Structure 1
Amino acid sequence: MSLRVTLVAAARSSSLLAERFDDDRPLDEAGWYEVQVAAPALIPLGAAELRYCSPTPRSRATGTALGYAPLAQPALRECDMGRWRGLTLAEVAALEPSAVDAWLTDARTAPHGGEPLLAFITRIGNWLDTRPAEDCSIVAVAEPSVVRAALVYALKAPPSTYWNVDVRPLSTVTLTGRPGLWHLQLDAALR
């Protein structure tokens, strides 16, 4: 028995430098345009037996625009950033530089009062491991941070690896296998 879980990173809702922690903003104009450009390559993924998305506005909008009619999964929410919610990394670094250093170097700490990185990665991994244990294809539109966490979990990499994974909007990655034993399949570049 083998599962095929394709993760699609949600389209953007702002420029990279304007990204905010726990951002609930909808897709911006550029994000909608990028979905239209990528749609021919991504729409076929909607043939999956199960279609999910993160509960964020941009993940839901991306999945809907691609015709997936995805079911929002609370477990696929972004990391709870506590009092840093709504701020950019630059804003937080200016206000709490030592807290940012602690957060970036210790996956068990949550100086923001929210969820530690290790707990976030584990939560996303638990979602992966509780998918149906039968041959099945799944597509899930999720925030780039969720895709990063899924990759770290699936590869059994140290939590610090999370900071070295770059997930671009509308990129895809496929994990195949079964709960506890995942394999990474790199998908072809979208044209």
Structure 2
Amino acid sequence: MTRLFVVAHASTHATEQARFPCDEPISDRGRRELGRLAVPVVDRWVCAPERRAVDTVHAFGAPAEIDSALRELDYGRWCGAAMGDVPEGELAMWLTEPAAAPHGGESVEDLIRRVGTWLAAQDDGYERVGVVTHPAVVRAATVCALDAPAASFRRVDVGPLDVVRLYGGPGRWTLRPNRFAR
């Protein structure tokens, strides 16, 4: 049985300011959060390629394999924009229609398919794998594990350093919500 500890990266200025993220480092707040973290013991670490994910896993003091399938949702032209700066109609469409990508990037349905494909490849036998990625990817992994509809994506709340544990393997994941002790 594979055990995945799927961790959302530490805070960044974008998460603190309700902006769509770009490739940025973790913030001072993120570094403080990491200082209070109880890191799980795993056999190996895998992380998204963006700097905030790499910074987070490096703070754990462990080497990690970079996996582009764990990359952030592509926010297209909204990258770096504040939520209030996005045209209201486009934002409403994106928040209510999982197939929509009015920003020119990736839709929620596309993200869920990508993460589902990645999860389907995770069958390494009895292994504990730490996965550092983005809140949107953690949400998508949760939706996939529960075999829930894409419309449920927005009902999964994931913040900095939140963790979802998945046990099992392709097509048979069991979800155990968890948060590292802070």
- TM-score above 0.5: yes
Secondary structure of the 2:36 match is: helix
Asked if residue 126 in structure 1 is aligned to residue 149 in structure 2, the reply is no
Asked if residue 161 in structure 1 is aligned to residue 156 in structure 2, the reply is no
Secondary structure of the 1:52 match is: strand
> Residue 118 of structure 1: CA displacement?
0.3
> Residue 89 of structure 1: CA displacement?
1.6
Alignment RMSD: 1.6
Normalised to the residue count of structure 2, the TM-score between the two structures is 0.92
Measured in 2, the distance between the counterparts of 1:17 and 1:87 equals 13
Measured in 1, the distance between the counterparts of 2:130 and 2:15 equals 24
Describe the shift of the 1:33–1:189 C-alpha distance in structure 2 as closer, same or farther (beyond 3 A): closer
- 2:120 touches 2:169 (CA, 8 Å); kept in 1? yes
Aligned to 1:21: 20
2:63 is matched by which residue type in structure 1? A
Measured in 2, the distance between the counterparts of 1:86 and 1:175 equals 31
Aligned to 2:64: 70
- 1:105 touches 1:160 (CA, 8 Å); kept in 2? yes
Describe the shift of the 1:188–1:172 C-alpha distance in structure 2 as closer, same or farther (beyond 3 A): closer
The 5-angstrom pairing of residues 87-98 of structure 1 reads 87-92=81-86, 96-98=87-89
Secondary structure of the 1:186 match is: strand
Normalised to the residue count of structure 1, the TM-score between the two structures is 0.88
Secondary structure of the 1:181 match is: coil
> Residue 189 of structure 1: CA displacement?
5.3
> Residue 132 of structure 1: CA displacement?
3.2
Q: Deviations over 1:58-78 (max 9, x none)?
A: 110110011121111111111
Note the residue ranges of structure 1 that are not aligned, 5 or more in a row.
none
Q: Normalized per residue, which structure has more helix?
A: 1
Measured in 1, the distance between the counterparts of 2:4 and 2:60 equals 17
Identity among equivalent positions (%) equals 36
